[in-house]
Amino acid sequence: MKRSNAPLFWLPFGAGGMLAALTGTMLVFITGIAVPLGWTLRAELMSYPHVLALAQHGWARGLLLAVIALFAWHAVHRIFHSLHDLGIHSGATAKLVCYGGAFALTVITAASLWSIAH
Amino acid sequence: MNLDGGVPRPFVRPMRGWWRRDPFFVRYMLRELTAVAVLAYAVVLAVGVVRLSQGEVAWNGWLAALRAPWSIVLHVLILAAMAVHAWSWFQIMPKTLPMIFVGGRRLAGATITRAGWLATALTSIALFALARWWQS
């Protein structure tokens, strides 16, 4: 029996969905609203030295990469499976664009974090 | 090939806007739509990481972009979508999890959903407290 590769696609989808459900709302509030407006949180929270220190910290860097990679994977998996509902034929091209896009975003983020650390 | 010669063509039900026919489908599409916001946020963060690796000037440019009114509006929309995602994620969780038995009785779906919402609330409070602690 040929082994299915489906779990490779839905496992990160589930992990990303769970991570987004638990942390997404507050993360968006902190980075996109509270800090830019200086409302309930100070702008210094995301100052260059502050965030650089975070990105150079071992497990914090890993968490940052996990958030970006898993959010992206969760999103493209869901979008890919919604194409059919919108009447768009989801063939190999759509699959490549969706998952390839998430993969590219992950590689770009990992490379940038790597260059910050070294 | 023309099949119109006296042969009636079968009726094909139009599928355009099918999801607007039922509130259940509207909720389904709203749930799927949150993925666009999750992707947008991942891209925003990834751009931030790239700018951070390019030095202080690049990073400050990214921060300035976050302060622009259009960015605030975008993030309010993403925030709303994230909240819908968290809400719906745990609402469908009883259907996606294998059955859980506690003391011989099946764990009720509502219990799983409420536990998930509670976990989100506690994680959010912890994250905000962490940010408050770390800024000082």
Structural domain includes residue A100: yes
Interface check for A75 against chain B (CB to CB < 8 A): the answer is yes
Residue A47 lies in a domain: yes
Is the pLDDT confidence value at A110 over 70?
Answer: yes
The whole-number pLDDT of residue B52 equals: 97
Predicted pLDDT at B2? 53
pLDDT tens readout for residues A85-104: 888 887 899 999 999 999 99
Q: What is the pLDDT of residue B8?
A: 80
Give B6 to chain A, closest Cα distance, Å: 31
Task: Say if A31 is an interface residue toward chain B (CB within 8 Å).
Answer: yes
Which pLDDT score, from 0 to 100, does residue B61 have? Answer: 98
Q: How far apart are CA B46 and CA A108, in angstroms?
A: 8
- Say yes or no: B46 contacts chain A, CB-CB below 8 A: yes
Distance from CA of B114 to the nearest CA of A (A): 13
User: Which CATH number goes with the domain that contains A33?
Assistant: 1.20.1300.10
Instruction: Give me the pLDDT at residue B122, please.
Output: 98
Tell me how far apart the alpha carbons of residues B2 and B77 are, in angstroms, rounded to a whole number: 50
The ipTM of this complex is 0.94
- Structural domains in chain B, CATH included, are 20-130 (1.20.1300.10)
Note the pLDDT tens digit of each residue in A20-73: 999 999 999 999 999 999 999 999 999 999 999 999 988 999 999 999 999 999
3-state secondary structure chain B: CCCCCCCCCCCCCCCCCHHHHCHHHHHHHHHHHHHHHHHHHHHHHHHHHHHHHCCHHHHHHHHHHHHCHHHHHHHHHHHHHHHHHHHHHHHHHHHHCCCCEECCEECCHHHHHHHHHHHHHHHHHHHHHHHHHHHC
Please tell me the predicted confidence (pLDDT) of residue B62.
98
Residue B127 near residue A19, CB atoms below 8 Å: no
For A88, phi and psi rounded to 5 degrees?
-100, 130
Min Cα distance B105 → chain A (Å) is 26
| Residue A58, domain extent | 6-117
* Residue A1 in domain: no
Query: Which of B42, B50, B56 shows the shortest C-beta gap to A48?
Result: B56
**What is the structure's pLDDT at B44?**
98
**Total structural domains in chain A?**
1
The per-residue pLDDT string of chain B (136 residues; one tens digit each, 9 = 90 and over) reads: 555 567 788 888 888 888 888 889 899 999 999 999 999 999 999 999 999 999 999 999 999 999 999 999 999 999 999 999 999 999 999 998 888 888 888 889 999 999 999 999 999 999 999 999 998 7
Does the beta carbon of B27 lie under 8 angstroms from any beta carbon of chain A?
no
A59 touches chain B (CB under 8 A): no
